[in-house]
Chains A and B, each alone.
Chain A
Amino acid sequence: MLNLPIYLDYSATTPVDPRVAAKMIPYLTEHFGNPASRSHPFGWAAEKAVEDAREQVAKLVNADAKDIIWTSGATESNNLAIKGAAHFYAATKGKHIITVSTEHKAVLDTVKELERQGFEATYLDPQPNGLITVEQFKAALRKDTVVASVMAVNNEIGVIQPIAELGEICRANGTIFHVDAAQATGKMPIDLSKLKVDLMSFSAHKTYGPKGVGALYVRRKPRIRLEAQMHGGGHERGMRSGTLAPHQIVGMGEAFRIAREEMATENERIRMLRDRLMKGLLDIEETYVNGDLEQRVPHNLNISFNYVEGESLLMAIKDIAVSSGSACTSASLEPSYVLRAIGRSDELAHSSIRFTLGRFTTEEEVDFAIKLLHDKLGKLRELSPLWEMFKDGIDLNTVQWAAH
């Protein structure tokens, strides 16, 4: 028996894994100490838990625990990384920033704020497959490029950007390279001992950890300096003040430990489910997959359904919880800026659905989603005059619409 609605929106947020929740709860009750308390065991126990978790986060990405700074989430990490590095190095390196037009709002809005403060930004438009090319990036790079920020995995279409190559180019140019890896952890291997990445943002709640906690990797060799964005008691090597929340941090540590140990097998299972979903949906006429299928994490499927109206489609498939864009921008009715940036028309962008599968997704749920989409699309298209015209062989692009 299926529980409705079925959750297929794992890129918006994930449930906390029960093993993670079990580890967290003692840090809300008996081990509730403030890790900054140095005078009693309540504080020591909390501090030890925080440091153990730091090891677990570092291990997932093959970094040193000392390189990991706790934050309240990936949005804060992105703000700290980009503003912190831009401000620290502007005087010596310059005030030019490179990013990609399909980045998360946490990066785009941060770069826009820096533009207001006098920085200059280049927004690279990806190719139709969602990826930027090394040549494109090289062409935008300047002597005064102080920071480049490129996400590892896109939150809407799941494509994986060529981080390793971009890192080499940045290092050679003396540009600080930041990578938003919020959507990448547990979905693809990340090895910071090999990647020339200076700053990397992480989120717990996209990887079966709790909301309210994230981390920023800050490379120490060569040493990257940041201007702190939050000042106070000097926690986290002075880069981020504020009482640490051990229950959340412990949760992130455990979530990342599980990701490290289980991602290989888990991702194969999820890939099979995703491929099953894709095959089932592409059986429907006039459907298009958005984003490259090779350079892509296994849990993401983003499909445009032609000749249906996006809002009606979302209303019709309420039994599955999916999104038409990223959660952070879903309050607006604007079509996805990511899909627009890769060249989809407004109509196709409007009738796109992001399906993101995860640890608790079952084959039965996938089959239910396939059947639901077949049924509802059939009904919606029966009512659509555009679909009728398309079926009659009329090329809609040549139709002269009467003004009214």
Chain B
Amino acid sequence: MFAPAYLDHNATTPVAPAVLASMLPYFSVQHGNASSRHEFGRAARRAVDEARQRVAHAVGAHPTEVIFTSGGSEANNLFIKGAALRLKPGVIAVSAIEHPCVRNPARTLSRQGWRVREIAVDAECRLASADFSAALADKPALVSVMMANNETGALQDIALLAAEAATAGACFHTDAVQALGKIPLDFRSLNSAGVSALTLSSHKLAGPKGAGALVVDKRVDLAPLIDGGGHERGLRSGTENVPAIVGFGVACEQAVLHLAEAACHLQMLRARLEGGLSVLGATIFAQAAERLPNTVYFSLPGIDGETLVGKLDRAGYAVASGAACSAANPEPSHVLLAMGVAPAMARGAVRVSLGATNTEAEIVGFLLALSAIHTQLKSMTAMVD
């Protein structure tokens, strides 16, 4: 069977063999409900506790700070709505490049009397420091800024931003879904800098879909979004998804173990890819920013992104024209627009996000295919003109 090369790891990743192996017993022999008191239940509880330790260890947190959820979206919703419910309505400041599962929960708060203050970014997808200071002057009770952007891969200096936010009296959250497993993460030091909570997801780092976590300072007063039974210290009820949680734990452990080596490999592949792209005259977004080692977001002048992605797919390369979650949405990326990219250029955007299993041969093949498609599309455009 013809298998396309998968270059869309920021959308989701295949489950690593070691992760899958760790999960399988929990579908069959170890099938207990972690709340049951008999041996089946106790074995499931031990597995959940061990996974909690693994996740905590991977991000430098204490196990009691890890609240398991069904994924990153739920963890972001839990922090934003859960913290807001316990506060008097005020201002919530979120960056203009947040994932919809931060932006949309923030917007729903306006119904309860909150005001949403969006923080601008510069042309390289970095938080605009003047606007950040201006936003803090509005005395926001909550601030949420993502650690790594899912489209451009741009990183923010979270410790610095959190320290400023803390000085201004805000409770600071960061969505670290794309950062986990790709760059080092240390909740303890982030926490001392002023970060109150961070969001994690399992399926972006070779873990299964269906698990995520909110790592949260216990001094933050949160209301649960899901009631019933009082699981996860009362912050998230519902029978624990034992196999997914176990897989999430192992995925975290593996990612941290191989982080340096993977980053080195990814940077090498990325350099190769970006070298080829510049020959084709591509614009690489946020290239001057500190970025994740695996993400390249580019546009070829005059070429439509959707068309390019479709042709790349037929040539055997799976890439994305934007975030998977809004892939059905024909609007240009809100991230690029926030960076001041012209809509026509933004419509050309293609995201390549690499994984540790990608090879140099795949990058070379991708560039050859892209070059051929580029020539073909350019000549078609020339004919139409």
A residues whose Cβ falls under 8 Å from a Cβ of B: 5, 7, 9, 12-16, 18, 21, 24-25, 28-30, 32-34, 36-43, 72-76, 78-79, 104-110, 112-113, 203, 205, 210-213, 229-235, 241-248, 314, 318, 321-323, 327-331
Quick check: A104 and B228 within 8 Å, CB to CB?
yes
Quick check: A243 and B203 within 8 Å, CB to CB?
yes
Q: Mark B12-56, 1 if CB is under 8 A from A, else 0.
A: 111100001001100111011101111111000000000000000
Quick check: B31 and A25 within 8 Å, CB to CB?
no
Quick check: B108 and A231 within 8 Å, CB to CB?
yes
- Shortest Cβ gap from B87 to chain A (Å): 16
Contacts A109-B228, A242-B71, A243-B325 given; does A72 touch B241 at CB 8 Å = yes
- Among the interface residues B73, B99, B211, B230, which one has the most CB atoms of the partner chain A within 10 A? B73
Quick check: A213 and B99 within 8 Å, CB to CB?
no
Contacts of A211 in B (CB 8 A): 239-244
Contacts A72-B238, A210-B27, A245-B244 given; does A37 touch B12 at CB 8 Å = yes
Quick check: A28 and B104 within 8 Å, CB to CB?
no
> Within the complex, which residue of A105, A203, A231, A318 is in contact with B77, where a contact is CB–CB below 8 Å?
A231
Q: Say which one of B135-143, B157-165, B313-321, B362-370 lies at the interface with A.
A: B313-321
Contacts of B37 in A (CB 8 A): 314, 323, 330-331
Quick check: B15 and A241 within 8 Å, CB to CB?
no
Contacts A40-B319, A210-B27, A245-B208 given; does A318 touch B228 at CB 8 Å = no
Quick check: B36 and A323 within 8 Å, CB to CB?
yes
The answer to whether B324 has its CB under 8 Å from any CB of chain A is yes
The answer to whether B4 has its CB under 8 Å from any CB of chain A is yes
B residues whose Cβ falls under 8 Å from a Cβ of A: 3-4, 6, 8, 11-15, 20, 23-24, 27-29, 31-33, 35-41, 70-74, 76-77, 99-101, 104-105, 107-108, 201, 203, 208-211, 225-231, 237-244, 306, 309-310, 313, 318-321, 323-328
Can you report 15 A-B residue pairs in the complex whose CB atoms are below 8 A from each other? A9-B40, A21-B24, A30-B14, A72-B238, A79-B228, A211-B240, A232-B105, A232-B325, A233-B325, A234-B325, A241-B77, A241-B104, A242-B101, A244-B209, A318-B39
Quick check: B41 and A75 within 8 Å, CB to CB?
no
Quick check: A235 and B325 within 8 Å, CB to CB?
yes
Contacts A5-B40, A232-B325, A233-B101 given; does A39 touch B320 at CB 8 Å = yes
Contacts of B36 in A (CB 8 A): 9, 12-13, 321, 323, 327, 330
Contacts of B100 in A (CB 8 A): 231-234, 241
- Shortest Cβ gap from B82 to chain A (Å): 12
Contacts of A329 in B (CB 8 A): 229
Q: Main SS of the interface on chain B?
A: loop
> Within the complex, which residue of B38, B226, B229 is in contact with A9, where a contact is CB–CB below 8 Å?
B38
Contacts of B70 in A (CB 8 A): 72-73, 76, 212, 242
Contacts of A73 in B (CB 8 A): 70, 238-239, 241
Nearest CB in chain A to that of B44: its residue: A13
Contacts of A112 in B (CB 8 A): 227
Nearest CB in chain B to that of A109: its residue: B227
Quick check: A75 and B237 within 8 Å, CB to CB?
yes
> Within the complex, which residue of A213, A231, A327 is in contact with B41, where a contact is CB–CB below 8 Å?
A327
> Within the complex, which residue of B3, B12, B210, B242 is in contact with A34, where a contact is CB–CB below 8 Å?
B12
Q: Bound state CA distance, A328 and B104, in angstroms?
A: 32
- Shortest Cβ gap from B74 to chain A (Å): 6
Contacts of B12 in A (CB 8 A): 32-34, 37, 243
Quick check: B320 and A76 within 8 Å, CB to CB?
no
Quick check: A43 and B11 within 8 Å, CB to CB?
yes
Quick check: A42 and B8 within 8 Å, CB to CB?
yes
Q: Bound state CA distance, A46 and B91, in angstroms?
A: 39
Nearest CB in chain B to that of A20: its residue: B27
Q: Bound state CA distance, A76 and B323, in angstroms?
A: 26
Q: Bound state CA distance, A90 and B238, in angstroms?
A: 26
Q: Bound state CA distance, A331 and B35, in angstroms?
A: 7
Q: Bound state CA distance, A321 and B33, in angstroms?
A: 11
Nearest CB in chain A to that of B35: its residue: A327
- Shortest Cβ gap from B199 to chain A (Å): 12
Quick check: A321 and B39 within 8 Å, CB to CB?
yes
Quick check: A230 and B208 within 8 Å, CB to CB?
no
Quick check: A248 and B321 within 8 Å, CB to CB?
no
Contacts of A15 in B (CB 8 A): 27-29, 31
Contacts A106-B227, A113-B227, A322-B38 given; does A16 touch B31 at CB 8 Å = yes
Contacts of B320 in A (CB 8 A): 37, 39-40
Quick check: B4 and A18 within 8 Å, CB to CB?
no
Contacts of B229 in A (CB 8 A): 75, 105-106, 109, 328-329
